[in-house]
Chain A
């Protein structure tokens, strides 16, 4: 039983550590969506994101380069991926905590 318990403890530790790492990684990738605004016949690009109760718009320029666009898209994809993995790790950690605190035969 000792070996199994050690294994579960190690896995729980790994899940919590990795969850923290994903939360850190999320900070590196800005959230938000690309917004195209047309003002007096001119096109302007913004990144819109939620900041608490407010929605903020950060001006990106009159044109978006292919690199900018690619980076923003990649950033969005990674944020979605990381969030789903954080959820997965959260569920795993809950399960492991329950298993560790269960009664031994």
Chain B
């Protein structure tokens, strides 16, 4: 199943690339963990992921100039267009993958979906995503150039948001994934980059990271961040 899911993921990325929109998107969420293997280049790094969610972050204001209909782009692969809950965020569902588009939530925030006409999609606004937009790395593989959050930004972002999860399974998955990426950064002797990105965070977010890590007993990680 994992092999089939991976090939479906690559098919999605290739189609977005061919449509000229991939360069304006950032692949976030657990699929980043998979693509970090091209960054770490370590045999010990585990790319195992337990999710079907494939999340794309759309920086706003968007630089997308072409207009496409993402549902039409993936329809023949068996994706269904579903509106999540009463709010109307669009999710493209398939037995092996669930594609969602996210935008950073700013100001007071709103429950309403954010319509992206260039993609014909209702995106979901979420907090703390600007931090990921500010810290990305390029990954080149199989003729694709995609943007993912810097692994340190990925881990730090998860250290903030895991407490917001309602489901125990998602809570534990966030922590496990973030610690796996964080530990690989330390093994690759990239503490300096981790601290630099941590220091770039808003003071309140830094405090939140420390508080959350202390609450799960990850004092060693706190020590590394504080230098």
User: Chain A contact residues: over half helix, strand or loop, or mixed?
Assistant: helix
A7 at the interface (CB under 8 A from B): yes
B130 at the interface (CB under 8 A from A): no
B44 at the interface (CB under 8 A from A): no
B78 at the interface (CB under 8 A from A): yes
Identify which of residues 41-89 in chain A touch chain B, using a CB-to-CB cut-off of 8 Å. 74, 77-78, 81-82, 84-85, 88-89
Question: Looking at the complex, which of A14-22, A32-40, A96-104 is the stretch in contact with chain B?
Answer: A14-22
Q: Are B78 and A6 in contact (CB under 8 A)?
A: no
B197 at the interface (CB under 8 A from A): no
Residues of B within 8 A of A10 (CB): 167, 169
B167 (CB) vs chain A CBs: closest residue: A6
Q: Are A3 and B76 in contact (CB under 8 A)?
A: no
Q: How far is the CB of A25 from chain B (nearest CB, A)?
A: 6
Q: How far is the CB of A102 from chain B (nearest CB, A)?
A: 19
* A92: contacting residue among B50, B78, B95, CB under 8 A: B95
B98 (CB) vs chain A CBs: closest residue: A14
Q: Are B93 and A88 in contact (CB under 8 A)?
A: no
Q: Are B78 and A7 in contact (CB under 8 A)?
A: no
Q: Are B168 and A25 in contact (CB under 8 A)?
A: no
B172 at the interface (CB under 8 A from A): yes
Q: Are A3 and B95 also in contact (CB < 8 A) when A22-B80, A25-B80 are?
A: no
Q: Classify chain A's interface size.
A: 20 to 34
Rounded to whole angstroms, the CA-CA distance of A10 and B167 in the bound complex is 11
Residues of A within 8 A of B76 (CB): 74, 77-78, 81
B127 at the interface (CB under 8 A from A): no
B200 at the interface (CB under 8 A from A): no
User: Chain B contact residues: over half helix, strand or loop, or mixed?
Assistant: mixed
B75 at the interface (CB under 8 A from A): yes
B82 at the interface (CB under 8 A from A): yes
* A85: contacting residue among B50, B78, B172, CB under 8 A: B78
B94 at the interface (CB under 8 A from A): yes
A2 (CB) vs chain B CBs: closest residue: B168
A92 (CB) vs chain B CBs: closest residue: B95
What per-residue 1/0 map shows which CB atoms of B168-185 lie under 8 Å from chain A? 110010000000000000
Interface set of A (CB-CB < 8 Å, partner B): 2-3, 6-7, 10, 15, 18, 21-22, 25, 74, 77-78, 81-82, 84-85, 88-89, 92
Enumerate 25 A-B pairs (CB-CB under 8 Å) in ascending A order. A2-B168, A3-B168, A3-B169, A3-B172, A7-B50, A7-B169, A10-B167, A10-B169, A15-B95, A18-B95, A21-B80, A21-B82, A21-B93, A22-B80, A25-B80, A74-B76, A78-B75, A78-B76, A81-B76, A81-B77, A82-B78, A85-B78, A85-B94, A85-B95, A92-B95
7 other A-B residue contacts (CB within 8 Å) besides A22-B80, A82-B78: A3-B172, A6-B167, A6-B168, A7-B169, A18-B95, A85-B78, A85-B95
Q: Which 7 interchain pairs have the tightest Cβ spacing?
A: A81-B78, A85-B78, A7-B169, A3-B169, A21-B80, A6-B169, A89-B95
Interface set of B (CB-CB < 8 Å, partner A): 50, 75-78, 80, 82, 93-95, 167-169, 172
